[in-house]
Amino acid sequence: MADTPRSKGTVKWFNQDKGFGFITPQDGSSDVFVHYTAIRSDGYRSLTDGQSVEYLIVYENDGRPSAVDVTLATTGDVTSATTGEVTPATTGEVTPAV
């Protein structure tokens, strides 16, 4: 996976109680499923709606894409696929919303 390019996107929504959500890819492709176990973090693994993230894509047995090795975006800006708004990327650990 070291040579696999990382994708960038914005968290569309993430349900902390159920531990899953969806990412809207920056390239405009279909939304990508994300499970809390795919989030790289030393602490509580969760995402917040609107966060800019980087991830790898794997395809499930049914052909649907899933995000793995999910981290907060560290460089560049991410454009929201839903609003077209440019959001500066954030840095640091993934932290739970309070």
Within a 10 A sphere around the Cβ of 9, how many other Cβ atoms?
29
Which structural domain range is residue 25 located in? 7-78
Question: Residue 27 and residue 8: Cα distance in Å, rounded?
Answer: 8
In a domain, 84, yes or no: no
Domain count, the chain: 1
The pLDDT tens digits for 58-71 are 999 999 999 999 99
In a domain, 24, yes or no: yes
More confident position, 3 or 14:
14
What average pLDDT score do residues 31-36 get?
96
In a domain, 11, yes or no: yes
In a domain, 36, yes or no: yes
Which CATH number covers residue 16? 2.40.50.140
pTM to 2 decimal places? 0.71
Give the position of tokens 């460089």.
75
In a domain, 26, yes or no: yes
In a domain, 92, yes or no: no
Inter-residue contact 65 to 13 (CB < 8 Å): no
Which whole-number Å values give the CA distances from 36 to 29, 31, 95, 96, in the listed order? 21, 16, 12, 11
